[in-house]
Amino acid sequence: MRNRLIMGAVRYGCLGAQNKPQYDRCTDMKRRVDLYINDGNLEHLVDIANICLCEFVEGNHPNKHFSAGDDTQHTKRIE
């Protein structure tokens, strides 16, 4: 993941850089989750994790905030 972040900084600019273009990361995250579900390629998970990190640091959602709490929704256990 770290290597991908370094290459991404070269291609797209460092996290938090001034005058950096905005990206539609949320749509891309969803697309890559679908790809992973369909083909099982772990590379998609690396990409998703890094995209999530970038969105956390410099996302452009109009209501971006952090409100910690237990939403009572948890991952379903597979028996």
Q: Tell me the average pLDDT across 49-73.
A: 90
Long-range contacts of 50-55 (CB under 8 A, 24+ apart): 50/1, 50/4, 50/5, 50/8, 51/25, 52/25, 53/5, 54/8, 54/15, 54/23, 54/25, 55/25, 55/26, 55/29
Residue 30 phi/psi, 5-degree rounding, is -60, -45
What is the structure's pLDDT at 52? 96
* pTM of the shown model: 0.83
Q: Tell me the average pLDDT across 5-31.
A: 92
Q: What is the pLDDT of residues 64-75, one digit of tens each?
A: 999 888 777 788
Q: Tell me the average pLDDT across 32-44.
A: 98
